[in-house]
Structure 1
Amino acid sequence: MGIAICSLKWDAARTGRQKITYDRDGYHLVRFPYEDAEESYDPWHMHDPGKGAATSPSRFPDARSGLIWPSHDGWGTLSAMIFWEADSRPTGYRARYVRDPLGDSTGYDSTATTDWGPTKGGQYRTHVWHMFVHPQTPVGLKISARGAGDVKIAAPLLFAEFKLAIQTDVVTP
């Protein structure tokens, strides 16, 4: 079975804190650096700064640095790991995957939204979803921290990984 993989890593300790800004949908698109980061892997150039609708290359931490452009049509397994710093303000956290999160190709389409209440200390979560992916439709990981009354909070994010594994030989009957 053929598998094409993109694995991205962002770490506040290595590249500095990521400013949490909420889009119109109430979520932050997590950004990932383009330079080779420890544990990052992208031989199919799915996280290429030249991809996307803009005429100039993307630069971390702009919004396009949060996109993975699938290299093949196929069955995609998306996975993420998210670490939030301990913060007493949030009453809930959310994560979701979004097809075309910037609305530049096929249109914004969120899926696999999950939410959870805070636990003692930091918030550490993994998130997995499967779906068909296509080269013309980028995917992104979006997150949100919410306080009382569902108010969005810029809680400190410490670490994130975002991965896409595409099974390229999906059998059809």
Structure 2
Amino acid sequence: MSVHVCSLILDEPQVIPQGGYQVVRFPFGAGESYDAHGMHQVAQPDGYQVTNWRTDDRAGLIWPAADGWGSLTAMIQWEAGDYTELRDQFVRDPLGLTGDPVNTTATDHRPPSPGMQCFTKHHEIFVHPGVPLAVRVSHNDSAPRRLLLAEFKLAIHSTGA
């Protein structure tokens, strides 16, 4: 049984506007920690080419390389702010690329703690090639705030014989 793994890291601040959910974007190439199965590429499986990972929400997509049971993990670190709530979620097809409805899961609404806001999350779902995944975040501060560090990981375990 093989396991397909994609492990992304964002280690530069990313500004998140107040209000609705925002896909967390991740760099390609040397900025990645691991993508041996080509699940986070500039040239995406549907033919789209990402030209700027900092501004294109497609830079937040992991495209599963196989059908299977997906273990999703995220780590999110926010700067301190005037939040009363921070939100995060995993989502299938967050940009509506497949024509199916956006499918969110593992949505958390969190009250802030003193200082910097650091969270981890884990959830498991069935994943399929052609249905990209992302982690999205939101906050209710009155001004845009920065993610200081984020990670997004997918491990696909085969469910076949």
TM above 0.5: yes
Residue matched to 1:162? 152
**What's the CA shift for 1:59?**
2.9
**What's the CA shift for 1:103?**
0.3
Q: Is structure 2 residue 99 aligned with structure 1 residue 75? A: no
Aligned with residue 134 of structure 1, among 128, 136, 143: 128
Matches within 5 A, 1:1-173: 1-12=1-12, 17-21=13-17, 26-37=20-31, 40-53=33-46, 55-61=48-54, 62-87=56-81, 89-105=82-98, 106-147=100-141, 153-168=143-158, 170=159
Structure 2 CA distance for partners of 1:70 and 1:97, relative to 1, 3 Å: same
SS at the partner of 1:65?
Answer: helix
**What's the CA shift for 1:54?**
5.6
Letter in 1 for 2:87: R
SS at the partner of 2:14?
Answer: coil
**What's the CA shift for 1:171?**
5.2
Stretches of structure 1 that go unaligned for 5 or more consecutive residues are none
Distance 2:94 2:107 in 1: 14
Distance 1:94 1:86 in 2: 15
Distance 1:22 1:47 in 2: 27
SS at the partner of 2:112?
Answer: coil
Q: Between Structure 1 and Structure 2, how many residues are aligned? A: 159
Distance 1:2 1:54 in 2: 27
**What's the CA shift for 1:96?**
0.2
Matched-pair identity in %: 42
TM superposition outliers: structure 1 runs of 4+ over 3 Å: 52-58
Structure 2 CA distance for partners of 1:57 and 1:118, relative to 1, 3 Å: closer
Q: Please tell me whether the aligned partners of residues 76 and 149 of structure 2 are also in contact (alpha carbons under 8 angstroms).
A: yes
Stretches of structure 2 that go unaligned for 5 or more consecutive residues are none
Distance 1:64 1:55 in 2: 9
Distance 1:78 1:143 in 2: 15
Q: TM-score, normalised by structure 1?
A: 0.85
SS at the partner of 1:135?
Answer: coil
Structure 2 CA distance for partners of 1:118 and 1:136, relative to 1, 3 Å: same
| Alpha-carbon RMSD | 1.9
Distance 2:73 2:49 in 1: 29
